[in-house]
Amino acid sequence: MTIQIVKTNCALFHDRIHARQTSVTAGDVEQTDLFGHWTADAPGKARVKECEMTSSANTQDCEYITPPVNLRTKVRVKSDQEDGDFDPVAAAEKALQNLSGNFSNWMAEETGTLVKLWSGMRLRALTPDDRDSLFRAAHDIKGQGVTLGFPLASTIADSLCHLLETVQDPRQIPNQLIEQHVQSIRAIYADGACTDCDPVATELANQLAEISEQFISTLKRN
């Protein structure tokens, strides 16, 4: 995408140069930026002469006058943090520590969203729209659970996502199996099972993944 944009802008820049039919006098000199866009405030005196094109040989007889470039405006000033003593890894770890106080609140929001969605679906057969909404909520926990300090919740959410995206007809997914996934994620957050060293929570996550895989395999055989 970036390459195409650059090529397009370069082509526009090329066309604009060759389309000029009149000369530009001092004070009206136009300058182009790196992508071929014209700017009106180029300094200095210059005159751009008309180009005479030779269509058969695709050649031209032109005089190009390039306005001076102020390099000072294009140079990025180096910050103090970019000195040799700056440690980007340490800075990232410090930023993560500063945010860690909010992790529990963020996990509460993600878990609450999943539980609330499921509570409105649990008494009916799952529709495609239900499946999509539930998948997005579970996928958020799958992707963020480890960072937020709840890796087992991420594992169970991964199992739920796999179940929802693999079974083509969501009505075939037992509501009880979805219920077990959702309530397990809620329980892990409520109990503060923040590591994968919790034997009960780890066994629960493994069993849910195994049961889901068995259900999918049985469905494919039938």
> For each successive 10 residues of the chain (222 residues), what is the average pLDDT?
38 42 41 45 42 44 58 55 66 63 81 96 94 97 90 95 96 96 94 76 93 95 86
Structure tokens at 140: 């958020």
Catalogue the long-range contacts made by 63-67 (C-beta closer than 8 Å, 24 or more residues apart).
Answer: 64/17, 67/29, 67/31, 67/42, 67/43
The answer to whether the beta carbons of residues 139 and 157 sit under 8 Å apart is yes
Please enumerate in sequence order all residues whose Cβ is within 8 A of that of 153, keeping only pairs 6 or more positions apart, or say none. Answer: 107, 111, 141, 145, 185, 188, 189, 193
The range of the structural domain enclosing residue 43 comes to 2-67
Q: How many domains does one find in the chain?
A: 2
Query: How far is Cα 21 from Cα 154, in angstroms, rounded to an integer?
Result: 65
pLDDT value for 185: 96
* pLDDT, position 140: 96
User: Are the CB atoms for 66 and 44 separated by under 8 Å?
Assistant: no
Output the pLDDT for position 205: 92
The pLDDT, as a whole number, for residue 11 is: 43
**Dist CA 209 CA 177 (whole Å):** 11
Which residue in 186, 132, 133, 141 sits closest to 159, CA to CA? 141
**Residue 56 and residue 120 share a domain:** no
Q: Judge whether 76 lies within some domain.
A: no
Same domain flag for 165 and 212? yes
Identify whether 178 is part of a domain: yes
Asked whether residue 36 falls in the same domain as residue 124, the answer is no
- Which of 47, 67, 87 is where one domain is finished? 67
**Pair 33, 112 in one domain:** no
pLDDT of 69: 56
Domain membership of residue 120 (yes or no) is yes
Q: What is the pLDDT of residue 23?
A: 38
CB 33 within 8 A of CB 60: no
Q: Are 44 and 126 in the same domain? A: no
Looking at residue 177, which CATH number applies to its domain? 1.20.120
Same-domain status, 56 and 111: no
